[in-house]
Amino acid sequence: MASTTSFLAATQARRSMYALAKESPISNKRIIEIVEHAIKHAPSPFNVRSTRCVVLLGAEHDKLWEHAYEITEKTTPQAIGILGPKIKGFGAAYGTCMFFDDSTAVNDLTPRFAALSGQYPEWFEHSNGMHQYIVWTALEAEGLGCNLQHYQPSITPFVTNEWKIPETWSLKCQLVFGKPTAGPGDEKPKRPMEDCLKVYGN
């Protein structure tokens, strides 16, 4: 099926790209539509829909990575020589989508399902990861390069205060995106499939 082939081709094309320009081949409206699509359609435990997103564009995106540089330089000065250029590179990109999980979303569940969900917090991590993957893959298919970063918890207080984030939202990651100015680099060798997949039955 063409739709299946298109999806598989998109998953194969998705790679981490770090050489990104402050340009986008698609409109801001289209970027937001992609994030909205993930929020609406990604799986979540008990359909609880606990993933939250904040998209930063223009000066707001710059503000995030300027702070990330400052806090890294302040808290881990020994690492700024390595991390500093990377953070500057994130700031040079077009935008950032921050992913959160809202702990109050389970309040909408029945007491039985709320109690059950509390026993398996990894289910919410799985759902958040699927949201990230959908957005990343869709942006890739639209001609944007992306890379996924995890500068929490050092940037969390700033993020919470600057963009009025509810205290119940837990920051999970930052997806940086922009127009690629170079390829993703050589693919790393992959393990043989027989080491990764077992099939029983016919």
Domain range summary for the chain, segments of one domain joined by +: 12-181
Cα gap 52→39, rounded to integer Å: 8
Q: Which residue has the higher pLDDT, 185 or 139?
A: 139
Give the model's confidence band at 2: pLDDT under 50 very low, under 70 low, under 90 confident, else very high.
Answer: very low
Q: State residue 81's pLDDT score.
A: 95
pLDDT of residue 120 exceeding 80, the answer is no
Instruction: Kindly state the average pLDDT of the residues 34-43.
Output: 97
pLDDT of residue 185 exceeding 80, the answer is no
pLDDT of residue 114 exceeding 70, the answer is no
Tell the CATH topology of 12-181.
NADH Oxidase (3.40.109)
| Residue 128, amino acid | N
* Token pair for 62: 């710059």
Q: State residue 1's pLDDT score.
A: 38
- Residue 118: strand, helix, or coil: helix
How large a percentage of the chain has pLDDT more than 70? 92
How large a percentage of the chain has pLDDT more than 90? 74
Peptide bond into 153 cis (omega under 30): yes
Do the beta carbons of residue 123 and residue 45 sit within 8 Å?
Answer: yes
The per-residue pLDDT for range 56-80, each reduced to its tens digit, is 999 999 999 999 999 999 999 999 9
CB count in 10 Å sphere of residue 170: 18
